[in-house]
Structure 1
Amino acid sequence: MLSVRFFASLRERLDCAALTLDWQPEWACIGDLHAALMARGPLWAEALDKPDLRCARNQQVADLQAPLEDGDEVAFFPPVTGG
């Protein structure tokens, strides 16, 4: 199983805070999972196809090349800004 979480405006846009997905061996890295999520439909593709999209693996900031393993938690979120 793989836990996927969405935060901030991404969660609002997708109307989804979290998913639990059956592990797929072809998901070697976060980028593979990212592509599979974008394939869920136009809303998902538009929301996730952002050059500044951030991600984390097991609560550690990661990039799309980070490897995935069964049981991981992956989070996607927009860049954090402050003022």
Structure 2
Amino acid sequence: MITRYRSLKTCYSENPVLVIDTQSSHGDLLDAADQRLRAASDLLETLYCMCFKQADAKDIPNIVNALYLLVQDGCDLLEVAKHKQPE
């Protein structure tokens, strides 16, 4: 049996706060995944275009964490959408 709410892999707590509603429409799941993956892609493109001499080394872990959250959440959403039939 599939549970209605699936916790995100990026959840570090035993009691997840952010979850995926597996009963959401296929289109809504894909839209949410697309939003996160495009945000990650846009951030990577911005970083690619920047001169790294301007970057502060302490910002790198923050950037990596943001990218990880966006990509992992997008992948989690795609995984749920993959198992749903399009309307």
TM-score interval for Structure 1 and Structure 2 normalised by the shorter chain: under 0.3
TM-score (norm 1): 0.27
Greater per-residue helix proportion:
2
